Structure 1
Amino acid sequence: MNLKPTSAYLEKQRGSSAVVVKPDWLRVKAPQWERVGSVKDVLRDLSLNTVCEEASCPNIGECFSAGTATFLIMGPACTRACPYCDIDFEKKPVALDPTEPDRLAEAVRRMNLNHVVITSVNRDDLPDGGASQFVQCIEKTRKLSPNTTIEVLIPDLCGNWDALTTILAADPEVMNHNTETVPRLYKRTRPQGDYQRSLEVLKRSRAIAPWVYTKTGIMVGLGETDAEMRQVMRDLREVDCDIITIGQYLQPTQKHLGVKEFVTPAQFDAWREYGESLGFLQVVSSPLTRSSYHAEEVRRLMQENPREKGELCISP
């Protein structure tokens, strides 16, 4: 089965875009390179990938300077080719590395993280979408760092709900799955994704393990309207999503999907206020927000909104 779109299709989806000057509100503070280097040393020593590096995140300096990172497992090659993403899809996915969970857990221990985010490339070539590797990473991290809270940022697993249950059974504190954009833009932006399936991931996560906090992220500046954004936020609340992050899409290279608009900070504030009025526990909305940006603040959220663990509901 061909898991990837053709090159011709991708070029049509990406198109060309004029060079646009970034506004002042998208300027990033210069990082403390000594601290950045120490984090990179740990990552290189343990042969680990981070989404911070692979996806060209604009906050890499700040996060690395603070000693935090979002670990990217089962990669760096991805079986999908979303035209906005800078993660490599041209390399052939390789067999899962059984030592990766141990190396990740050791990195969390060395970096003394209070909260860790574990994400992955899409592995549509695997029967469980990589759920077993997520479980191993959670379990190994728990063993070495029992006080560290764990957030998993997962793909849609091609709608494999048994795989989703497997991950939730490992008991991460936060289940994160990005919605990414509004339904109208899915075909162009996320051609191998499905808006309703992404909502279903969040809905079923809440039903299977009600005590686990659910989270999603949306990128803007791709041509969405305010009305569409507000409808997506209402859809997310209907599936009882707890946390939403909203941030500006930035074009990684001229080969990627172009930016249609640089959204103003005032508009981000308006979406934050609207999201809070809908009842999200947390709305992080700003130009530089990314799905795992300042993710450690989730610890405070959980302390303020504690939930009692129960039994998994395997038939949501």
Structure 2
Amino acid sequence: MSYLQKTHIFSLLHIDIARNSTDDFNLFHDKKKWHQIHHNPFGGPIVLGFQLEAFIEGAVREHRITYQDDILIAQKNLQYSNYQFSFANPVKPEQVIDIKINRSLFSNDLLNPILSNRVSLKSGGKLSMAGYKKESQKPLFLPNPDLPDFKRLINASDREFLGDTGFFIKRKFMNTSNAKNFLAGSLIEQSDYFDEIEGKANFPEMFPCALISCALLENVIKEKLDFKRNPMVYTSHKISIDRHHLSHLKSNDSLHLLVRLIQEDKNSASSLQQTYECYGVINHESLLFRSLVSLVPLTGK
């Protein structure tokens, strides 16, 4: 049976597996402590945003193979995988998930050809998230990042700010067991990515990106903000991942997560919205991903 034809339901166990594999300690996902969030309207734990995007990654991956988009991606050297999604309503345990992937569109732009699919996801009959999965030769987001010299990361302190750069650093190490668990928690068959008998070990795109949540939470603790009384929720993710560097990612590789609050656009639809630029650097050498993560206070959503 096709991935897209199956009935998909996240359980409490799936949420725990995903949050444990990424060290995401956000109370929105905690089955015992969700009620500690002031005026939490969700009535229980909810599925992780990056967990949903990993689910989408798996669905689009099958779509690409079915319609031979993977051949076009290789032929056109579409090195970057891009996710652009807005969040509407939460996904709760035991709700049936419906995903729709529109037909692929290819724009053969000379400067940056792009293969694109619009994707929407519903849960409990309501729209949960919508946006695009795109493949491109150049990153679609943060194409010219202002980053510190990666060599500074070698001796940088974990869970501290990097000098006067404004970047908060969280250091993690890649682990195949955690990646497998994240896949299982995201309703994805782990053997599509890892199989020791066949010598297959490919980290999924969304696993290292999912560690952003942990970095942002650690940053909140460092800033002494109260995420029980003043919690924030995701409104959108914009992510560009370098497939070339991802293909060389190995277990025990270090991943430096750099997050920094950026100045909001004065024309932003919500004056309460905060946007962070987030980066993942492998072994203080290669930029694996770049992302813009936007949040608003729960009360302002």
TM-score range, shorter chain: under 0.3
Higher helix share: 1
Length-normalised TM-score, structure 2: 0.26
Length-normalised TM-score, structure 1: 0.25
Higher strand share: 2
